[in-house]
Amino acid sequence: MNSETQDNSLIREISAEKYRYGFTTDVHTEIIDRGLTEDTVRLISERKGEPEWLLEFRLKAYRHWLTMEMPHWAHLDIPEIDYQNISYYADPTVKKEGPKSLEEIDPQVMKTFDKLGIPLEERLALSGGVAVDAVMDSVSVKTTFKKTLAEKGIIFCSMGEAVKNHPDLIRQYLGSVVNYRDNFFAALNSAVFSDGSFVYIPKGVRCPMELSTYFRINAAGTGQFERTLIVADDDSYVSYLEGCTAPMRDENQLHAAIVEIVVLDRAEVKYSTVQNWYPGDENGRGGVYNFVTKRGLLKGVDSKLSWTQVETGSAITWKYPSCVLQGDGSQGEFYSVALTNNWQQADTGTKMIHIGRNTKSTVISKGISAGHSQNSYRGLIKVGEHADGARNYSQCDSLLLGDKCGAHTFPYMDVKNETAIVEHEATTSKISEDQLFYCNQRGIPMEQAIGLIVNGYAKEVLNKLPMEFAVEAQRLLSVSLENTVG
């Protein structure tokens, strides 16, 4: 494994290219003062013109947050975070008044999303067949395809709009899966959440296209606290994609989101994430702290929820997309590829809570660590007393590239029902020398060979991604691994 002979200039070129979303957009952004008090919460609520009950919800969460301490049980080394030194609301769309149509959106913002390859214009979107909700800093910039979706009765809009137009639905479901008391970051998010997407699929509707949200942190000194809520009514189906990027900055930026999914009778939701927040530079400076609570409640019988995630970004990731399998015969799936390089740290995994009868869950997690990074899988499989015939299969593999990184597995299994079958397997190994040699022999250079092998290793998960994302994810894996040889 030596590539020291490689041309230095070439290496520099590649490393400069490593994070290609690291630009910032010079756009007029209204940012509220740093710090978090009850007034901040009131101010956010006021800015968004929220009804009284939502403000109450935020304040309850804020007051609860004050009583909590930041969790330290994860296998992460999290530097002290000064929650008073973060601005909790940044709005890039404010000019004098809010935008009424596409034309009014700052052309700079449009350019940003163009650069990211996010088709905001509907005619562009037509070719991709993906409806996009783009969120920059705290505000949803633009949701495409709304009309087509509305014909089917599908609601896909920003959280802010949903609060105004569909208050009943929001009131019914907001916080029903992730309570504001759930954990420290959930409480924080519940207090200050800004925008995010809301999706409602009516009974019996199969969403004809992929729905997608693109998150972007742009402004400096801000955090992003978006909130996504998906409700799939009886017999419906939706596939939802989420992507995220942030500019390269020396400071750490906080991202604490909540995703709640409610799946009713026989409905199916597919949730895919390609997380590519700025991971910090090769010395571990900067990067996004990604502390996210994602949970799905499989309320209905025979409902299905599938989480697929490709985690390549963020300086620190703390994320456990979970399924509460409440309905009889419900199924939860979790497919994950987590790649850490340089000084990145990731503690990620899933929770599968089996409550209903004949519930099934599958967990496939592939960790890849390189550089000085630490990559942990942490998962819980819980089978309740009444979950007759519960079935779980978990497989966690770790791949180590280099002798300075770490790969860890912390699975928890708690079984209270004698008819349950729970299986867990984990392996840790390095890239096979034989495979590398084989590739080299056939003229494939070391870096490409590693990319090839890693992609093959992660294929089981990548295959679960929708087409558009799979290509992107594959490219991302190779890019993130550049310069790990040697």
Partner 1 sequence: MKPAQNYIELFKENRALVERGSAGVMNTLRDAALSSLARYGLPHNRLEEYLHTDVSKWFEPDWGMNLARLDMPVDFAQAFKCSVPNLSTQLYFLANDAFASSDRASKAGLPEGVFAGSLKEAAQNRPDLVEKFYGRLADMDKPGIAAINTLFAQDGYILYVPDGVTIEKPLQLITLLSSKVDLMVNRRILVVLGRASQAKLLLCDHALAANNYLTTQVIEVFAGQDSTFELYDLEETHTANLRASELYISQDAGSKVSVDNLTLHNGQTRNTVCVTFDGQGAELSLNGVAITDKSQHVDNMTFVDHRVPDCTSSELFKYVLDESSTGAFAGKVLVREGAQHTSSQQTNRNICLTREARMFTQPQLEIYADDVKCSHGATVGQLDDKALFYMRQRGIPQQEARMMLMLAFVGEVIGKVELEPLRDRLYRLVEKRFRGELTQCEGCRACR
Q: Which is nearer to partner 1, 428 or 455 (CB)?
A: 428
Tell me the site size for partner 1, rule CB under 8 A. 36
Q: Confirm or reject binding of residue 430 to partner 1 (CB under 8 A).
A: yes
Q: How far is the CB of 162 from partner 1 (least distance, A)?
A: 40
3-class DSSP assignment, residue 484: coil
In DSSP terms, 272 is beta-bridged to 241, 308
Q: Confirm or reject binding of residue 428 to partner 1 (CB under 8 A).
A: yes
User: Which contiguous run of DSSP H or E holds residue 434?
Assistant: helix 433-441
Q: How far is the CB of 377 from partner 1 (least distance, A)?
A: 9
Query: Are 226 and 88 spatial neighbours (Cβ–Cβ below 8 Å)?
Result: no
Helix, strand, coil fractions of the chain, as percent rounded to 5:
25, 35, 40
Q: Which is nearer to partner 1, 121 or 414 (CB)?
A: 414
Q: Applying CB under 8 A, which part among 86-94, 182-190, 234-242, 399-407 lies near partner 1?
A: 399-407
Q: Confirm or reject binding of residue 414 to partner 1 (CB under 8 A).
A: yes
**Of these, 81, 126, 415, 479, which contacts partner 1 (CB under 8 A)?**
415
**Of these, 105, 207, 263, 405, which contacts partner 1 (CB under 8 A)?**
405
Cα–Cα dist 160/197, whole Å: 8
Q: How far is the CB of 430 from partner 1 (least distance, A)?
A: 5
Q: Confirm or reject binding of residue 409 to partner 1 (CB under 8 A).
A: yes
Q: Can you say whether the dihedral through the CA atoms of 431, 434, 437, 439 is positive or negative?
A: negative
Q: Confirm or reject binding of residue 437 to partner 1 (CB under 8 A).
A: no
Q: Applying CB under 8 A, which part among 27-35, 346-354, 401-409, 460-468 lies near partner 1?
A: 401-409
Which of 383, 310, 308 has the alpha carbon at shortest distance from 340? 310
Q: Applying CB under 8 A, which part among 59-67, 104-112, 181-189, 428-436 lies near partner 1?
A: 428-436
Q: Applying CB under 8 A, which part among 178-186, 190-198, 252-260, 396-404 lies near partner 1?
A: 396-404
Cα–Cα dist 307/461, whole Å: 10
Residues 6+ apart with CB under 8 A from 294: 257, 258, 259, 271, 307, 319, 320, 321, 322
Q: Applying CB under 8 A, which part among 49-57, 91-99, 274-282, 423-431 lies near partner 1?
A: 423-431
Do β-strands 360-370 and 331-340 pair in parallel, antiparallel, or remain unpaired?
parallel
**Of these, 15, 37, 84, 429, which contacts partner 1 (CB under 8 A)?**
429
Query: Are 282 and 292 spatial neighbours (Cβ–Cβ below 8 Å)?
Result: no
Within residues 333-392, the interface with partner 1 by CB under 8 A covers 383, 385
Q: Confirm or reject binding of residue 60 to partner 1 (CB under 8 A).
A: no
Q: Confirm or reject binding of residue 412 to partner 1 (CB under 8 A).
A: yes
Which of 212, 194, 192 has the alpha carbon at shortest distance from 134? 212
Q: Confirm or reject binding of residue 408 to partner 1 (CB under 8 A).
A: yes
Backbone angles phi, psi at 233, to 5 degrees: -75, 175
**Interacting residue ranges for partner 1, rule: CB under 8 A:** 73, 75, 383, 385, 398, 400-430
